Amino acid sequence: MKFHNREKELKYLKTYVQLEPNSILFIYGPKSSGKSTVMRRVIKELENSNIVFFYYNLRKYATPTKDEFLRVFFEKSDKKYLLNKLEINLGVFKFGVEENFDFNNLSLNDVFAKINESINAVIQEGKKPVLIIDELQKLKNIYFNGNKSLLNELFNLFVSLTKMEHLCHVICLTSDTLFIEEIYRNSTLKNASEYYLIDWLEKETIKKILKEEGFSEDELNYASNYLSLPYEISQLINNKKLGLSVKETIKQWINIEKDGLMFLIANMPDELDENKIYEILNKFRDKIKVEDYEIIKRELIKEFKFLVENEILFYDVVNGIIKPTSIIEWHAIKEVLR
């Protein structure tokens, strides 16, 4: 599918990476809203600029261990930075370490020294380094010697690179909104971080894309009331080519999500209260968005987190809004409530 109508996001991010680094940028949004696609497009459009992108897509890996983290982020080479072979078509880089570098018994100071060496090598060549980590939260459970949290220490490094020394942009992408909440409430990062939401596609954008693909006016009007995510559009286009009607496809998607939600509730942990789950879901019977204060109460917090962790609800902590992860999910919730 063509890359459509993310001009606002592209302009923001392309401008951002060319400004002086001054804070960590967290790009967040519902799962499959296009965060990675937009970021990769930014990299591609700036590939002939003086920017060197260090890009790590952690969704490609199982939950990393300490050893895996080191091997994902560093490559043995005679260069301080080199092309990332796992992203060869994108033209992004990873940190280089000398051939005889011993990954065993490393301290975090050793790790951070190597990151700084790579970043400074870029700067010495008159270029601008930008570090991008996709799904950063996957590093949450990695600890180094002395039980130091890798993620907590990385944040300290990132503050130094951005706010304090203005050496390198650091951009973190995530769909884990409870992780974003932790960061947003973190006093250490309060004046050292920014947040940018990449959300659902707008209704008119969806209609424009489908019109270009030859959908009829009736199909456009029907589909635009249910779609919200880029991958849904791509699938709908493919299904039409395969002979499935728009209504048939969307009805099938809602049924799949409804069955998944019912299964999730039927098999939820014993410590959760089913009545509280339905109390939360009932908030969305007649509206698609609610203010966070309506749900985030002490007596509902465990059930709320369960629904967010299982990607039924999306929590926009920055704007104080809670909504289903997609419009299709919203219709599935309403079907379950019938």
Question: 162: which 2 tokens?
Answer: 């951005």
Residue 2 lies in a domain: no
Residues in the chain predicted with pLDDT less than 70, given as ranges, are 1-5
Report DSSP letters for 257-274, one per residue.
HHHHHHHHHHT--TTS-H
Please indicate, yes or no, whether residues 77 and 92 belong to a single structural domain of this protein: yes
CA dist 153 and 315 (Å) reads: 26
Q: Tokens 């809004």 belong to which residue? A: 321
Q: Which residues contact 139 (CB under 8 A, 6 or more apart)?
A: 58, 64, 69, 150, 151, 154
Q: What pLDDT, on the 0 to 100 scale, is given for residue 156?
A: 94
Please indicate, yes or no, whether residues 184 and 213 belong to a single structural domain of this protein: no
Domain boundary among 146, 168, 197: 197
Q: What pLDDT, on the 0 to 100 scale, is given for residue 144?
A: 87
Q: Please report, for the domain that includes residue 329, its CATH number.
A: 1.10.10.10
CA dist 128 and 140 (Å) reads: 28
For 69-116, write each residue's pLDDT tens digit: 998 999 999 999 999 988 878 999 999 999 888 888 788 899 999 999
Domain boundary among 197, 230, 260: 197
Please indicate, yes or no, whether residues 128 and 155 belong to a single structural domain of this protein: yes
Residue 119 lies in a domain: yes
Helix or strand run (H / E) with residue 153 = helix 150-159
Report DSSP letters for 86-113, one per residue.
GGTTTT-EEEEE-TT---TT--HHHHHH
Please indicate, yes or no, whether residues 192 and 219 belong to a single structural domain of this protein: no
Domain boundary among 197, 229, 248: 197
Please indicate, yes or no, whether residues 118 and 27 belong to a single structural domain of this protein: yes
Please indicate, yes or no, whether residues 40 and 132 belong to a single structural domain of this protein: yes
Residue 16 lies in a domain: yes
Q: What pLDDT, on the 0 to 100 scale, is given for residue 62?
A: 76
Q: Which residues contact 182 (CB under 8 A, 6 or more apart)?
A: none
Please indicate, yes or no, whether residues 187 and 298 belong to a single structural domain of this protein: no
CA dist 286 and 267 (Å) reads: 26
Q: What pLDDT, on the 0 to 100 scale, is given for residue 5?
A: 67
Range of the domain at 54: 7-197
Q: Give the number of domains in the chain.
A: 2
Q: Please report, for the domain that includes residue 93, its CATH number.
A: 3.40.50.300
Taking a C-beta distance cutoff of 8 angstroms, is the pair 323, 330 a contact?
Answer: yes
Please indicate, yes or no, whether residues 288 and 233 belong to a single structural domain of this protein: yes
Residue 1 lies in a domain: no
Please indicate, yes or no, whether residues 165 and 277 belong to a single structural domain of this protein: no
Residue 60 lies in a domain: yes
Please indicate, yes or no, whether residues 21 and 147 belong to a single structural domain of this protein: yes
Q: How distant, in Å, are the alpha carbons of 157, 176, 182 from that of 189?
A: 12, 17, 10
Q: What pLDDT, on the 0 to 100 scale, is given for residue 280?
A: 98
Q: What pLDDT, on the 0 to 100 scale, is given for residue 103?
A: 83
Please indicate, yes or no, whether residues 191 and 211 belong to a single structural domain of this protein: no
Please indicate, yes or no, whether residues 207 and 108 belong to a single structural domain of this protein: no
DSSP conformational letter for 296: -
